[in-house]
Structure 1
Amino acid sequence: MSSMTDHPPTPGSNGFFSKQATVAPAGFSRWMVPPAALAVHLCIGQAYAFSVFNGPLTKVIGITQSAPEDWTLTTLGWIFSLAIVFLGLSAAFAGKWLERVGPRRTMFTAACCFGGGFIVSAIGVWLHQIVLLYLGYGVIGGIGLGLGYVSPVSTLIRWFPDRRGMATGMAIMGFGGGAMIAAPLSVALMNHFKSETSIGVAETFVVLGIAYFISMTIGALAIRIPAKDWKPAGWTPPETSHKMITRNHVHIDQALKTPQFYLIWLVLFLNVTAGIGILGQASVMIQESFKNTVTAAAAAGFVGLLSLFNMGGRFVWASTSDYIGRKNTYFIFFALGAVLYYAVPGFASSGNIALFVLSYCVILSMYGGGFATVPAYLADMFGTAFVGGIHGRLLTAWAAAGVAGPVLVNYIRAYEVAHGVAKADAYTMTVHIMAVLLVVGFVCNLLINRVDDKHHMSDTQLAGQ
């Protein structure tokens, strides 16, 4: 394949971590690659479970209850926000490096950063220095998140040109499901290490840092890339006349000069914004919408159900896109999502918990599906030569949505309550705004068409990469 074209020799270019060393031998089964990708994504998916540490971290000094010197939840909230921001930044700025050095070195670097971030954070807890948690999990760990997120995905796209959606769905499903492992594991470890003088968080960080480093390193060692011009047995590339799938390639820098990149950026941003704010407030939202009906335990079950649909939607929707097309898949996300968001307040006011829960489960499945479908969308539009780097730059949309979504949900709700709106009705304006955002996303998706031929790389340019 053109994306596997050799680069000019550089010092150490033939070492164990070099791109050349990861080229698969003849007869290698491509089905060995998804487990390697999952070994990374199941680890970095821990990010979605970081909130389990927030409560204990407010009692590092007080142990049983918060002391005046302890950190507040607002102070701690920046740790996760920093991690998501640096996920987006590292994925964006390391794109060219990723394509040059290959997935093994990138994934190993991600393992060092993500595992090391936990160790630095543990030291921060022991010294009670919040800046070390910001640096450890937020900055260093966030860089590990970004590198670990994009490198396995771009590799899978090259191994599965016939099933791009399914391949990316497998890996990104792991990111969605990582929290389901991390949350109970983290709680169990904190309970194990808890003592009269320790809340158990620092020790848990050390164990997780080591465990994640080992797992992600195993994935890095197992990863392989296909040889130049490899393709699945019996598979024929789509005709060049296919409207939305190209057989050409667009350079990572040239992609930023196309309207398609920015339209897909908006598509991802609007889809994520409409889901991420709700995901963060799901427990409070259902309790306030059905006051005296839904208990805290039931609300926790609702959050768990949303996580299942978020995870499952990544595989189901991305796989479906292989058959109906990426553009049509996003049409469903935006049209159905807008209808459901508009209808949800009515379900709440009528006391219909079943339809309320079902609506949000479908919405969150499409939220997850949006993450998993977009890498294949990019490969269809820009080719596979630089898809990892282009995907990395597109993930700045996730970082932006990670700020915009919660801000919309939290501040609009606060404004409504402050102006006398009952808490049960305070989310009505928010979800109607989400519906409008999805309509805008529908229009952006409608405007996407194939990339103009002038942006495609020539054979000579490809050979020089």
Structure 2
Amino acid sequence: MNLTKKRWVTLIACCLINLCLGSIYVWSVFASSMAEFLSARNGVVLTTADLAIVYTIANSVGPITMITGGWFNDKFGPKKVILIGGIMVGIGMIASGFATSVGALVVTYGLIFGLGLGMTYGTAVSSCMKFFPDKRGLIGGITTAIYGLGSVILPPVVTLIVSKSSAAVAFKVVGVAFLIIICGCSFLMEQCPADFVPDGWTLPAATESSGVENKNWKEMLKTPVFYVMLLLFTCGAFSGMMVISQASAVATNMVGMTALMASTAVSILAVFNAAGRILAGFLSDRIGRINTLTIATVLGVCGLLLLYFTGQGGYATFYVGIACIGVSFGSFMGVYPGFTADQFGAKNNSVNYGIMFIGLAAAGYFGPSAMRNIYMTDGAYARAFLIAVACGAAGFVLTFVYRFLAKKK
């Protein structure tokens, strides 16, 4: 089988891997049951808030291994990197099932699982995209969308296991499954030759990806456009990370939804998030990455304004608002892997995108923190939405700063 055909096998393997990695969005299902288990075992009262540090650390450490794992991937190929990352993901989950304290969960889930996730996710996406220079935006959208769909597909499975046993058992069962799937898929991953060109395709004479010099991370950090892209990623992802973190609470406290309606809102957000990744990736191959991101910033601001003006019983505006935010956030997630490769070359994209991912990590920290702190202070979310609108507006301006720098270059 030649590489043009075999690359589709790589894409399928990448999608299966990312579906498993999307389990990080299922933390809330584990957390409540695990809090009860640890409270009963240790004779202290623990809530999901006491376990929040575990999830925060798991999200925060990812860029570390995205960067280091990306370096090994660019040098030696994805098989070994994903194998090691898959072992860390599986062992981290299994070990979490044996945890008897919050501190132990920080180590097993926060550090081992979180570091394994960053290594595996970054390597899988970057490796897959190298095989698709003709469909870079679409493939970035598909692979990241599958990661997001983990938040739709996996919660019912984990909830069923938890209801029949406990979170400890669920950790072990899911961990074994992930260990088998990810490590098995690692053997299907191939290293893309530097000169690979798909059959029947030639590089267009003038596109965003033509004539791009392959820069390593040191050379990338010397370019002003990198810092514009990093800030744009943070501004564009801020609203999504903020709303995703507390979508259910916002639906209940601000709109007055029932638990069932709130869960529907979370599902709508997840579905539009995933759809936005594929749609924006496909669109960016046709109208350009930066044009797609400009549209995404406008869509995000519109969604935030709808939420700002939503009151008790405003179900329709709330659903439309979170759908807009979901598509906007998904657009940034789907477009940025290809956007980074277009700008700095595909050769070192594993490391370069890992560094660029710091922009998302910053949004993942500041967005939820702003939402939580403002609600604790004001007893309402309105000011948080306005701050996110300001970030979105800044992102819109940054898209034109990028155009100025790109044109100057």
| TM-score normalised by the chain length of structure 2 | 0.94
- Structure 1 contact 251–386 (Cα < 8 Å) conserved: yes
Q: Is residue 42 of structure 2 the alignment partner of residue 88 of structure 1? A: no
Which amino acid in structure 2 is aligned with residue 374 of structure 1?
Answer: Y
Counterpart mapping for 1:383-394 below 5 A: 383-394=345-356
Matching residue's letter, 2:260: A
- Equivalent residue in structure 1 for 2:303, among 312, 316, 340: 340
- Give 1:355 shift: 2.5
Q: 1:155 aligns with which of 116, 127, 132?
A: 127
Q: Specify the code of the residue in structure 1 equivalent to 2:213.
A: N
Q: Which range moved further: 349-358 or 304-313?
A: 349-358
Distance of 1:113 and 1:266 partners within structure 2? 31
Task: Give me the whole-angstrom Cα distance separating, in 1, the residues matched to 2:38 and 2:340.
Answer: 48
* Aligned residue runs from structure 1 range 202-351, under 5 A: 202-239=168-205, 241-242=206-207, 245-291=210-256, 294-346=257-309, 348-349=310-311, 351=313
1:259-293 superposed Cα distances (whole Å, 9 cap, x missing partner): 121111111111221111111111121222223xx
Gaps of at least 5 residues in structure 2 are none
1:445 counterpart = 2:375: no
Which amino acid is the alignment partner of residue 290 of structure 1? V
Once the two structures are TM-superposed, the CA of residue 68 in structure 1 deviates from its matched residue by 4.5
Output one character per residue of 1:62-113: Cα deviation in whole Å (capped at 9) or x when no partner: 66xx984243323200111010111122213433222112111111111011
- Higher-Rg structure is 1
Matching of residue 36 in structure 1 with residue 13 in structure 2:
yes
Q: 1:443 to 1:450 in 2, by over 3 A?
A: closer
CA distance in 2, matches of 1:298, 1:136: 34
Give 1:177's match in structure 2, choosing from 137, 143, 149: 149
Find the aligned partners of 1:243 and 1:159 in 2 and give their Cα distance.
17
3-state SS of 2:61 partner: helix
Q: Alignment partner of 1:407: what SS?
A: helix
CA distance in 1, matches of 2:101, 2:258: 36
- Are 2:23 and 1:46 aligned? yes
Q: Does 1:109 align with 2:75?
A: no
Change (3 A) 1:245 1:262: farther
- Cα root mean square deviation, aligned: 2.2
Offset from partner CA, 1:132-171 (integer Å, 9 cap, x none)? 2101110011111101111111122211101101111111
Question: Is the Cα–Cα contact under 8 Å of residues 412 and 430 in structure 1 kept in the other structure?
Answer: yes
Query: 1:327 offset after TM fit, Å?
Result: 0.2
Cα drift, residue 27 of structure 1: 6.2
User: Structure 1 residue 379 and structure 2 residue 341: aligned?
Assistant: yes
* Structure 2 CA distance for aligned equivalents of residues 448 and 316 of structure 1: 22
Match of residue 370 from structure 2 = 408
Superimposed CA distance per residue, residues 334-384 of structure 1 (whole angstroms, 9 cap, x where no aligned partner): 1222233224322x1485421321121121111122111101101111111
Change beyond 3 A, Cα 1:35–1:269: same
Q: 2:72 aligns with which of 94, 97, 101?
A: 97
Q: Is the 8 A contact 2:36 2:47 kept in 1?
A: no
Tell me the amino acid that sits aligned with residue 85 of structure 2: A
Q: Secondary structure at the match of 2:187?
A: helix
Partner of 1:145: 117
| Residue of structure 1 in register with 2:386 after alignment | 432
Counterpart for residue 358 of structure 1: 320
Q: How far, CA to CA, are the matches of 1:397 and 1:366 in structure 2?
A: 16
**Following the alignment from structure 2 to structure 1, what is the Cα–Cα distance between the partners of residues 386 and 23?**
31
- Cα distance 1:156–1:243, how it changes in 2: closer, same or farther (>3 A)? closer
CA contact (8 A) 2:293 2:399 kept: yes
Q: Which AA in structure 1 matches 2:321?
A: S
Report the AA paired with residue 178 of structure 2: Y
Distance 1:437 1:245, change over 3 A: farther
Structure 2 counterpart of 1:189 = 161
1:226 shift after superposition: 3.2
Q: What are the superposed Cα offsets for residues 153-196 of structure 1, whole Å, 9 maximum, x if unpaired? A: 11222111011011111111111011222211111112232xxx
CA contact (8 A) 1:340 1:359 kept: yes
1: CA distance, partners of 2:279 / 2:87: 32
Cα distance between partner residues in 2 of 1:183 and 1:209: 15
Q: Is the 8 A contact 1:243 1:450 kept in 2?
A: no
Distance 1:160 1:249, change over 3 A: same
SS of equivalent to 2:402: coil
TM-score (structure 1 length as normaliser): 0.83
Once the two structures are superposed, what CA deviation does each residue of 1:284-304 show, in whole Å capped at 9, x if it has no partner? 21222223xx21111111111
Q: Deviations over 1:110-134 (max 9, x none)?
A: 101100101221221xxx2322210
- Decide whether aligned partners of structure 1 residues 223 and 117 sit closer, same or farther in structure 2, where only a CA change above 3 A counts: same
Give the conservation status (yes or no) of the 8 Å contact 1:260–1:449. Answer: no
Once residues 72 and 334 of structure 1 are traced to their aligned partners in structure 2, the CA distance between those partners, rounded to angstroms, is 36
Aligned length: 408
Residue matched to 1:129 = 101
- Say which structure is richer in helix: 2
- Quote the Cα distance in structure 1 between the aligned partners of 2:378 and 2:57: 28
Q: Percent identity?
A: 26
Pair 55,452 (structure 1): closer, same or farther in 2 beyond 3 Å: closer
SS of the aligned residue for 1:384 comes to: coil
